[in-house]
Amino acid sequence: MAMWRPAERIKHVAQAGRWPSREQARQALLFQPLALGRNGHCLLNERTWVPAMVPWRATEDGVVTSDVLDWYRRFAEGRPGAIVVEATGIRDIPSGPLLRIGHDRFIPGLKELTRAARQASGGYTRLFIQIIDFLSIRRRPQRDRYLSEFLRVTQRHRDQLGIARSVPEAEARAALLSLSDEELIKTLDEREWEALQLGARERVTDTHLPHIRDLPEKLPGLFADAAERAREAGFDGVELHYAHAYTMASFLSALNTREDGYGGGLEERARLPGEVFQAVRDRVGDDYVAGCRMLTEDCLNGGMETGEAAWFAAHLAGLGMDFISLSRGGKFEDAKQPKVGWAAYPYTGPSGYECMPSYYSDARGPFGRNLEPAAEVRAAVRAAGLDTPTVAVGGIHNFEQAESVLARGEGDIAGLARQALADPDWFEKVRAGRGNQVRLCLYTNYCEALDQRHRQVTCELWDRENLQEEGIALSRDGKRRLIAPRWRNQRS
Ligand SMILES: Cc1cc2nc3c(=O)[nH]c(=O)nc-3n(C[C@H](O)[C@H](O)[C@H](O)COP(=O)(O)O)c2cc1C
Ligand code: SF4
Site to substitute for ligand 2 among 397, 439, 445, 459, most atoms within 8 A of C-beta? 459
Residue minimizing CA distance to atom 4 of ligand 1: 53
What spacing in Å lies between the alpha carbon of 420 and ligand 2's midpoint?
A: 9
Ligand with minimal distance to 396 CA: 1
**Burial class (CB within 10 angstroms; exposed 0-12, middle 13-18, buried 19+) of 473:** middle
Task: Kindly list the protein residues whose Cβ atom lies closer than 6 A to any atom of ligand 1.
Answer: 51-54, 86-87, 130, 243, 293, 327, 356, 393-396, 416-419, 447-448, 451, 457
Residue 21 to residues 31, 276, 427: CA-CA distances in angstroms?
13, 44, 13
For residue 448, give the ligand 2 atom closest to its CA.
6
What spacing in Å lies between the alpha carbon of 352 and ligand 2's midpoint?
A: 16
Please confirm, yes or no, whether 242 is among the known catalytic residues.
Answer: no
Residue minimizing CA distance to atom 2 of ligand 2: 459
Ligand with minimal distance to 295 CA: 1
What spacing in Å lies between the alpha carbon of 230 and ligand 2's midpoint?
A: 29
Catalytic residue among 246, 288, 353, 443: 246
What spacing in Å lies between the alpha carbon of 75 and ligand 2's midpoint?
A: 15
Residue type, 236: D
Residue minimizing CA distance to atom 10 of ligand 1: 52
Q: Can you give the pLDDT at residue 87?
A: 98
What spacing in Å lies between the alpha carbon of 459 and ligand 2's midpoint?
A: 5
For residue 418, give the ligand 1 atom closest to its CA.
27
What spacing in Å lies between the alpha carbon of 86 and ligand 1's midpoint?
A: 9
Q: What CA–CA distance (Å, rounded) separates 120 from 122? A: 6
What spacing in Å lies between the alpha carbon of 326 and ligand 2's midpoint?
A: 21
CB–CB of 230/129 below 8 Å? yes
Beta bridge partners of 292: 240, 324
Q: What CA–CA distance (Å, rounded) separates 170 from 447? A: 46
DSSP letter assigned to residue 463: T
For residue 440, give the ligand 2 atom closest to its CA.
3
CA-based nearest residue to 241, from 227, 258, 255: 227
For residue 421, give the ligand 2 atom closest to its CA.
7
Q: What CA–CA distance (Å, rounded) separates 460 from 452? A: 16
**Burial class (CB within 10 angstroms; exposed 0-12, middle 13-18, buried 19+) of 145:** exposed
Ligand with minimal distance to 13 CA: 2
Instruction: Tell how strand 34-36 and strand 42-44 pair up.
Output: antiparallel
460 lines ligand 2 (CB under 6 A): yes
CB–CB of 473/482 below 8 Å? yes
Query: Residues 6 or more apart from 166 whose CB is under 8 A from it?
Result: none
Q: What CA–CA distance (Å, rounded) separates 405 from 401? A: 6
For residue 422, give the ligand 2 atom closest to its CA.
7
50 lines ligand 2 (CB under 6 A): no
Averaged pLDDT of the chain: 96
Handedness of CA 355, 360, 364, 366 (dihedral sign): positive
418 lines ligand 2 (CB under 6 A): yes
From the CB of residue 428, how many other CB atoms can be counted at a distance below 10 Å?
A: 20
Q: Can you give the pLDDT at residue 1?
A: 66
Q: Can you give the pLDDT at residue 55?
A: 96
Site to substitute for ligand 1 among 134, 356, 391, most atoms within 8 A of C-beta? 356
From the CA atom positions of the chain, what is the Rg in Å?
23
Residue minimizing CA distance to atom 14 of ligand 1: 53
Q: What CA–CA distance (Å, rounded) separates 28 from 22? A: 10
Q: Can you give the pLDDT at residue 8?
A: 86
Query: Residues 6 or more apart from 304 whose CB is under 8 A from it?
Result: 252, 253, 254, 295, 297, 298, 312
3-state secondary structure at position 86: strand
Residue 135 CA, chain-centre distance (Å), reads 15
Q: Can you give the pLDDT at residue 232?
A: 98
Residue minimizing CA distance to atom 6 of ligand 2: 447
CB–CB of 215/204 below 8 Å? yes
Q: What do you get for the CA distance between the two ends of the chain, in Å?
A: 43
Q: Give pLDDT tens digits along the chain (492 positions).
A: 678 889 888 999 999 999 999 999 999 999 999 999 988 899 999 999 999 999 999 999 999 999 999 999 999 999 999 999 999 999 999 988 899 999 999 999 999 999 999 999 999 999 999 999 999 999 999 999 999 999 999 999 999 999 999 999 999 999 999 999 999 999 999 999 999 999 999 999 999 999 999 999 999 999 999 999 999 999 999 999 999 999 999 999 999 999 999 999 999 999 999 999 999 999 999 999 999 999 999 999 999 999 999 999 999 999 999 999 999 999 999 999 999 999 999 999 999 999 999 999 998 989 999 999 999 999 999 999 999 999 999 999 999 999 999 999 999 999 999 999 999 999 999 999 999 999 999 999 999 999 998 899 999 999 999 999 999 999 999 999 999 999 976 544
Residue 42 to residues 235, 236, 290: CA-CA distances in angstroms?
11, 7, 11
Q: Please write the tens of the pLDDT for every residue from 83-131.
A: 999 999 999 999 888 999 999 999 999 999 999 999 999 999 999 999 9
3-state secondary structure at position 315: helix
450 lines ligand 2 (CB under 6 A): no
Site to substitute for ligand 2 among 358, 445, 464, 475, most atoms within 8 A of C-beta? 445
Ligand with minimal distance to 451 CA: 1
Beta bridge partners of 238: 129, 290
- Tell whether pTM > 0.95: yes
Q: Can you give the pLDDT at residue 488?
A: 79
Q: What CA–CA distance (Å, rounded) separates 283 from 290? A: 11
Residue type, 157: H
* CATH 3.20.20.70 boundaries in the chain: 10-138+205-452
Q: What CA–CA distance (Å, rounded) separates 416 from 422? A: 10
> Domain 10-138+205-452, CATH 3.20.20.70 — does that match?
yes
